Structure 1
Amino acid sequence: MENQLAWTLAACARVMRPVIRLALAMGVKHPHLEEMLRDLLLTEARRSWQAQGVKNPNISQLSVSTGLNRKAVTAKVRELSEPLPHTEMSAAAKTFTLWLQMLAEHPEHRRLPIVAEAGVPSFETVARQASRGNMHHRAILDELARLNMVAEHEGHVELTADAFVPAKDLQSMLAFFGDNARDHLLAAVSNTLGERAPMLERAVYAHGVSMDDCRAIEQLVRQRWSGLHHELTREMTRAFTSAAGNASGRIRVGIYTYYEETESATPAEPESGVPGTTRMEKG
């Protein structure tokens, strides 16, 4: 049991280190993190009890699960606030993605009329399809323009970005960071706990290579991802448009590359310099 706790804490430390780096860079202090951790402990403890059939876990049950005293539990029985938007709900992101998919088959549609007669491709039709008509195309266009992803001129709009990365909007960037990292970790946690059928969670790594090769490999990944991105978008769009009104499933497929110059070119274990594959699937 002691080994399990030590291993789990070490894994959590590895996961949380970059999160702490972000928090410190944004001015977050220990009291903020402590309050957030308590809220998360209680939220997840409540979810765990409910998964076991306990609809409304009591104070004692939550206290035992979290290690928080009853007074702390009583003071914290509330839902977490959500000041960040949910990226999967973004009509601007959906419109951008659908437009990008259109470009893969028709490059000439990088520039579209904002509105046009029936049968003629326009930004209005793309926005209506992406949002299922729940948001006016003008509001979506204004949001994409605010994010510097499109340029509007004389009744036409042109796509000026190749990926939905709202770098000039800190709130949106933090929302994507939170959603993408959360789902990556949810897949890894599910596989580690063996909660259900294994999900894809793999990585290839190498230690002891040049930075030039690191950059070249990243470019290779970007090129390969571009083709897969269009294929996945096409399939998800088909699934979205054909789904029943009460469909509640969600899916996020992601990819990442990270490289850096380490302090030593010598790996901690000599054989680990050889490229290897981590496979997080279990079951």
Structure 2
Amino acid sequence: MQDRLKWTQSALVRILRPAVRLALAMGLKHAQLEEILRDLLLEEARHLWRSQGIPDPNLSQISVTTGLNRKDVTARVRQVRDPLPATEGSSAAKAFTAWLQLAAEEPSRRRLPIVDTGHGPSFELVARLATRGDVHHRTLLEELQRLNLVRGLTGDGEGEVELVGDGFIPATSLRDMLAFTGDNVRDHLLAAVSNTLGQQPRMLERSVYASGLTVSECERIHQLAREHWDSVHYRLVREMAQAHASAAGMGTARMRVGVYVYHEDEPPDVKPTTRAGSARRRKKT
């Protein structure tokens, strides 16, 4: 039991270090991080008891599970509104992804007329189909332009818009980038935690890694991963769109599939964990 606690603490140091780095970069202090941790302890403790058949755990049960005193538990029984947007339901992301899929099948369609004339694809048509007409296409276009993901054309191309990026990456909006960071990292960790706890079904969660490489070789392999992801990405978008349509509004499950690459130049005093050119695979399935 003692070993398990030490192992878990060590794993949490690795998991939380990037989160602490982000927190410090954004100006958060110990008191704010402590508040976040306490609120999460309460939420997850309730989730744990409910998964064990206790729908409404009492204060004593929550206190024993979390180690928080009853007074602190009572003071924190509240719902906190999340100020970040939910990435799953973004109408702008849906419209952008639908347009990206169209352009993958026919590259000339990276450029579209804004208004639907009834003669071929247009941004208005793509937006209407992607959001089922729930959001006006001009509103979506303004949002995508704000995020620098599309640009309006002038001169001979007046009345047309063009895709700028190859993925919905709102790099100019800190709020949106934090939302995607939170959701993507959350689901990656949920997959790893689910596998570690032996839950079913086993989730796909793998990586290959090596050290003792040059930075230029890391970046070359990084670009290779990007190229392979592009082809997989378009197929996954198509499969998910078809699955959503076939569910006809009756589906209750959500899914996120992702990929990541991270590399850094290690300090000279850090010894390589593998010899140059070697690689290992971490497999969770």
Answer whether TM exceeds 0.5 for this pair. Answer: yes
Partner in structure 2 of residue 46 of structure 1: 46
CA apart distance, 1:39: 0.3
Report the more deviating stretch, 111-120 or 267-276. Answer: 267-276
Encode CA deviations 1:201-225: one digit per residue, 9 max, x unaligned. Answer: 0000011111111010001001111
- Within the candidate set 228, 231, 249, 1:227 is matched to 231
Partner in structure 2 of residue 82 of structure 1: 82
Query: Kindly, what percent of the aligned residue pairs are identical?
Result: 55
CA apart distance, 1:274: 2.6
CA apart distance, 1:132: 2.0
CA apart distance, 1:267: 3.5
Partner in structure 2 of residue 140 of structure 1: 140
CA–CA distance in structure 2, aligned partners of residues 102 and 78 of structure 1: 45
Partner in structure 2 of residue 189 of structure 1: 193
**Count of residue correspondences:** 281
* Secondary structure, aligned partner of 2:239: helix
CA apart distance, 1:152: 1.9
Structure 1's unaligned 5+ residue stretches are none
| Structure-1-length-normalised TM-score | 0.95
Structure 2's unaligned 5+ residue stretches are none
In structure 2, the CA distance between the partners of 1:266 and 1:152, relative to structure 1 (3 Å rule), is closer
Partner in structure 1 of residue 6 of structure 2: 6
In structure 2, the CA distance between the partners of 1:266 and 1:71, relative to structure 1 (3 Å rule), is closer
Q: Counterpart of 2:218 in structure 1: which amino acid?
A: C
CA–CA distance in structure 2, aligned partners of residues 45 and 103 of structure 1: 46
Aligned: 1:15 with 2:15: yes
Runs ≥4 in structure 1, deviation > 4 angstroms? 268-273
* Secondary structure, aligned partner of 1:3: helix
Aligned: 1:259 with 2:285: no
CA apart distance, 1:238: 1.1
Encode CA deviations 1:61-111: one digit per residue, 9 max, x unaligned. Answer: 100110000000000111232110011111111111111110111111111
CA apart distance, 1:138: 1.2
Q: Counterpart of 1:46 in structure 2: which amino acid?
A: R
* Secondary structure, aligned partner of 1:277: strand
* Secondary structure, aligned partner of 2:203: coil
Encode CA deviations 1:216-243: one digit per residue, 9 max, x unaligned. Answer: 0001001111111111111111112222
Contact kept, 8 Å, 2:127 with 2:137, in 1: the verdict is yes
Contact kept, 8 Å, 2:101 with 2:237, in 1: the verdict is yes
Report the more deviating stretch, 162-171 or 243-252. Answer: 243-252
Partner in structure 2 of residue 68 of structure 1: 68
Contact kept, 8 Å, 1:267 with 1:273, in 2: the verdict is no
- Within the candidate set 226, 250, 254, 1:250 is matched to 254
Partner in structure 2 of residue 128 of structure 1: 128
Contact kept, 8 Å, 1:191 with 1:199, in 2: the verdict is yes
In structure 2, the CA distance between the partners of 1:145 and 1:268, relative to structure 1 (3 Å rule), is closer
* Secondary structure, aligned partner of 1:112: strand
Contact kept, 8 Å, 2:210 with 2:273, in 1: the verdict is no
Aligned: 1:210 with 2:214: yes
Q: Counterpart of 1:36 in structure 2: which amino acid?
A: I
| Two-structure CA RMSD over aligned residues (Å) | 1.6
CA apart distance, 1:119: 5.1
CA apart distance, 1:247: 1.2
